[in-house]
């Protein structure tokens, strides 16, 4: 077996890697010449200029030996440099070895022996920058995410000297991927509890909703038009009138009133926010929505669900722990949940996917500012009187027509979510926005041409919804479970509160405890915190409410120097106290929220 095949075998045996050996060369092409007596590797560039890679470490930029980190290491041309840097890192740190230059990747696979890295915790990425977002997100879906609070970047001698511009593209994508992961983690405990209050108060309304599982693929082949409120909608809104009963129109809550005012009646209005939607878009307005169905998770305001007078479709939220818990309690099937992303347009997309609609057509989905930065939404919406809050982080992305357009962090995250679900489902999605940001994976076409091509037959959308059977739920069993669960949470709160008092006592009398009882006694007491820490992932609702704060707490633990000092133990104690305060308060609050908001009259 030659060295190339041996190296590929080593990488394949270690798991997650991404090597694109066939990609187009967009960087400097280097040809290996040889290695001199001092171990310096020499290459020719395309103009026959000599290029050297010394393999010497940058002693001014080394990881912390006492911290577990994720280390993005750029350059594979000298494995010795990787090993030398790794000797300065914590043994549990993860190295993400990135080689942006295809010719250097080919050199490494043909000339370096990857067996030298056998004692290193590493993965390899060697593909174009745009692919690293999904790669980092895949890593972040495991415990590796706990290492990402302070990512460390190291550049080998080649990239330090001459090709930093290429490296910058990767760094931008990596930071964006990590930021996007934080965005998806969830809300604060306060926001999550507001959602739980609404979920509990809306449970009785499930009796009015068609069983979403029954609706799966019920509109297969029907074109679905998802209408958002981007500024580009102003130039093609009138074409939507031509759809009539030959397609499904799903409007986000922001734009529904404007559509009706223009003679366009959406079959469905989508909503997803837990607060303010009722006040902004529906309260004190004529019932423009009376002909539409509301599709929303049960976490929206009860006033909003009540306003639709039984014309509601209430799916569970796919891959969200609170709804996994709720579905299990209610005895619902997995098909009662749909993908919802993080916006009203996302839930509209998820609902269209669930119905089997095709193609799915995006309209008004700019996800970018208009030519004027003050232009955030189409005219005639609530944002005319209440402009969108100014965003601190503004960035530039590729526009619909290949130009550069400005967007903000929230819209960029929304765009990434669209791109991810399109990639995963392989569904046909047409972007007929005719403006805004380009959404990868979509086909771009003018709205009038899309309507002419796909709206060719009448479809009775409302009869599908009206004839679908409602959810069937055994409320007696649900009530029994809720009573038992409340008692369980109250017990956890009481027990963790008693443990918290012991931890605070040690913290308040640290020197006394160290001197009288010793470090082992302190350690044994602190170890009991694990009881509460470990029970969180086993309880889907508790995990949902604590997920975001728990990630922050866990990352704080990972940042404690692993040096065995009393100071590190003291810092661990401080973080444990922070955790136990959060745990005991949250378990008590969840119990109270369920007790006060569950519809006990269903029992």
| Whether 308 and 431 share a structural domain | yes
How far apart, in whole angstroms, are the C-alpha atoms of residue 413 and residue 182? Answer: 10
| Whether 209 and 179 share a structural domain | no
Cα separations in angstroms, 536 against 120, 226, 584, 586: 31, 38, 12, 11
How far apart, in whole angstroms, are the C-alpha atoms of residue 543 and residue 452? Answer: 48
Q: Which residues of 23-35 are buried (b: 16+ CB within 10 A; e: fewer)?
A: eeeeebebebeee
- Which of 84-98, 279-293, 393-407, 537-551 shows the lowest per-residue confidence on average (mean pLDDT)? 279-293
| Whether 121 and 156 share a structural domain | yes
Give the pLDDT confidence score for residue 144 in this predicted structure.
77
| Whether 442 and 565 share a structural domain | no
Cα angle at 120 between 118 and 126, to 5 degrees?
A: 90
Domain boundary among 123, 151, 185: 185
Cβ neighbours of residue 300 closer than 8 Å, sequence gap 6 or more: 198, 202, 271, 272, 273, 274, 277
Give the pLDDT confidence score for residue 183 in this predicted structure.
62
DSSP 371: S
Give pairs for 459-467: CB < 8 Å, separation 24+: 459/219, 459/222, 459/245, 459/246, 459/247, 459/248, 460/245, 461/219, 461/222, 461/245, 461/248, 461/267, 462/267, 462/293, 464/215, 464/218, 464/219, 465/210, 465/215, 465/293, 465/313
Domain boundary among 410, 439, 467: 467
**What pLDDT, in 10s, does the model give residues 223-241?**
999 999 999 999 999 999 9
**What pLDDT, in 10s, does the model give residues 398-446?**
999 999 999 998 999 999 999 999 999 999 999 999 999 999 999 999 9
| Whether 357 and 450 share a structural domain | yes
How far apart, in whole angstroms, are the C-alpha atoms of residue 229 and residue 248? Answer: 17
| Whether 491 and 453 share a structural domain | no
| Whether 441 and 512 share a structural domain | no
Residue 23 has pLDDT above 70, yes or no: no
Domain assignment of residue 114, given as a range: 3-185
Question: Within a 13 Å sphere around the CA of 9, how many CA atoms are in the beta-carbon half?
Answer: 8
Query: Which comes out higher in pLDDT, residue 296 or 395?
Result: 296
Q: What percent of the chain is helix, strand and coil (3-state, nearest 5)?
A: 50, 15, 40
CATH number at residue 150: 3.40.50
**What pLDDT, in 10s, does the model give residues 175-189?**
878 877 766 665 678
> Mean pLDDT in the chain?
90
- What the block records as the tokens of 134 is 């999904």
Query: Using 50, 70 and 90 to split pLDDT, how confident is the model at 384?
Result: low
| Whether 522 and 379 share a structural domain | no
Nearest residue to 353 (alpha-carbon basis) of 248, 458, 493, 455: 248
| Whether 306 and 175 share a structural domain | no
**What pLDDT, in 10s, does the model give residues 554-581?**
888 888 888 889 999 999 999 999 999 9
Residue 365 has pLDDT above 90, yes or no: yes
How far apart, in whole angstroms, are the C-alpha atoms of residue 163 and residue 43? Answer: 15
How far apart, in whole angstroms, are the C-alpha atoms of residue 481 and residue 476? Answer: 9
Q: Taking the model in full, what pTM does it have?
A: 0.78
H/E segment holding residue 397: strand 394-398
Give the pLDDT confidence score for residue 392 in this predicted structure.
67
Domain boundary among 467, 500, 526: 467
Query: Using 50, 70 and 90 to split pLDDT, how confident is the model at 385?
Result: low
Residue 211 has pLDDT above 80, yes or no: yes
Q: How many domains does the chain have?
A: 3
| Whether 221 and 368 share a structural domain | yes
Cα separations in angstroms, 551 against 187, 199, 435, 489: 12, 24, 37, 21
| Whether 396 and 263 share a structural domain | yes
Q: From the CB of residue 221, how many other CB atoms can be counted at a distance below 10 Å?
A: 12
**Cβ atoms of residues 201 and 274 within 8 Å:** no
**What pLDDT, in 10s, does the model give residues 309-356?**
899 999 999 999 999 999 999 999 999 999 999 999 999 999 999 999
| Whether 252 and 401 share a structural domain | yes
């Amino acid at each position: 077996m030659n060295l190339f095949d041996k190296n590929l075998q080593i990488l394949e045996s270690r798991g997650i890697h991404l090597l694109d050996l066939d990609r187009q060369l967009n960087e400097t092409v280097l040809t290996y010449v040889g290695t001199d007596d001092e171990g310096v590797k020499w290459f020719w560039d395309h103009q026959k200029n000599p290029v050297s890679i010394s393999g010497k470490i940058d002693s001014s930029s080394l990881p912390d030996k006492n911290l577990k980190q994720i280390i993005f290491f750029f350059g594979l041309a000298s494995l010795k440099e990787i090993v030398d840097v790794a000797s300065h890192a914590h043994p549990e740190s993860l190295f993400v070895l990135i080689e942006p230059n295809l010719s250097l990747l080919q050199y490494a696979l043909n000339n370096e022996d990857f067996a030298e890295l056998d004692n290193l915790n590493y993965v390899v990425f060697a593909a174009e920058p745009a692919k690293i977002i999904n790669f980092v997100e895949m890593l972040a879906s495991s415990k590796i995410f706990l290492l990402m609070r302070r990512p460390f970047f190291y550049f080998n001698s080649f990239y330090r000297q001459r090709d930093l511009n290429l490296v910058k593209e990767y760094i931008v994508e990596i930071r964006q991927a990590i930021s996007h992961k934080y965005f998806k983690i969830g809300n604060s405990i306060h926001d999550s509890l507001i959602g739980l209050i609404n979920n509990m108060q809306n449970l009785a309304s499930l009796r009015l909703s068609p069983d979403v599982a029954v609706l799966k693929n019920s509109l297969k082949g029907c074109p679905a038009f998802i209408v958002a409120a981007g500024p580009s909608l102003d130039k093609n809104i009138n074409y939507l009138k031509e759809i009539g009963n030959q397609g499904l129109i799903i409007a986000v809550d922001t734009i529904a009133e404007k559509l009706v005012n223009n003679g366009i009646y959406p079959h469905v209005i989508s909503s997803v926010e837990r607060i303010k939607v009722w006040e902004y878009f529906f309260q004190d307005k004529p019932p423009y929505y009376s002909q539409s169905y509301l599709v929303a998770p049960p976490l929206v305001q009860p006033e909003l669900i009540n306003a639709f007078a039984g014309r509601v479709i209430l799916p569970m939220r796919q891959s969200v722990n609170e709804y996994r818990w709720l579905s299990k309690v209610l005895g619902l099937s997995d098909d009662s949940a749909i993908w919802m992303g993080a916006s009203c347009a996302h839930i509209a997309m998820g609902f269209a996917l669930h119905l089997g609609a095709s193609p799915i057509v995006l309209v008004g989905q700019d996800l970018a500012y208009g030519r004027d930065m003050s232009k955030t939404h189409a005219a005639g919406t609530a944002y005319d009187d209440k402009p969108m809050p100014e965003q601190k982080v503004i960035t530039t992305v590729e526009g619909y027509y290949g130009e550069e357009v400005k967007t903000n962090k929230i819209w960029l995250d929304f765009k990434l979510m669209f791109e991810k679900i399109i990639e995963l489902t392989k569904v046909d999605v047409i972007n007929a926005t005719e403006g805004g940001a380009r959404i990868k994976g979509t086909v771009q076409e003018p709205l009038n041409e899309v309507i002419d091509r796909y709206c060719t037959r009448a479809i009775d959308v409302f009869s599908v919804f009206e004839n679908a059977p409602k959810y069937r739920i055994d409320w007696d069993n649900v009530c029994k479970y809720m009573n038992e669960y409340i008692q369980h949470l109250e017990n956890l709160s009481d027990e963790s509160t008693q443990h918290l008092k012991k931890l605070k006592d040690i913290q308040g009398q640290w020197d006394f405890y160290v001197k009288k009882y010793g470090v082992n006694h302190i350690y044994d007491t602190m170890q009991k915190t694990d009881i509460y820490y470990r029970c969180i992932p086993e309880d889907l609702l508790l995990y949902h409410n604590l997920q975001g704060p728990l990630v922050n707490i866990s990352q704080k633990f990972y940042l404690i120097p692993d040096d065995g000092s009393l100071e590190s133990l003291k810092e661990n104690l401080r973080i444990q106290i922070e955790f136990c305060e959060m745990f005991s308060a949250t378990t008590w609050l969840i119990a109270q929220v369920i007790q006060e908001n569950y519809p006990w009259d269903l029992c």
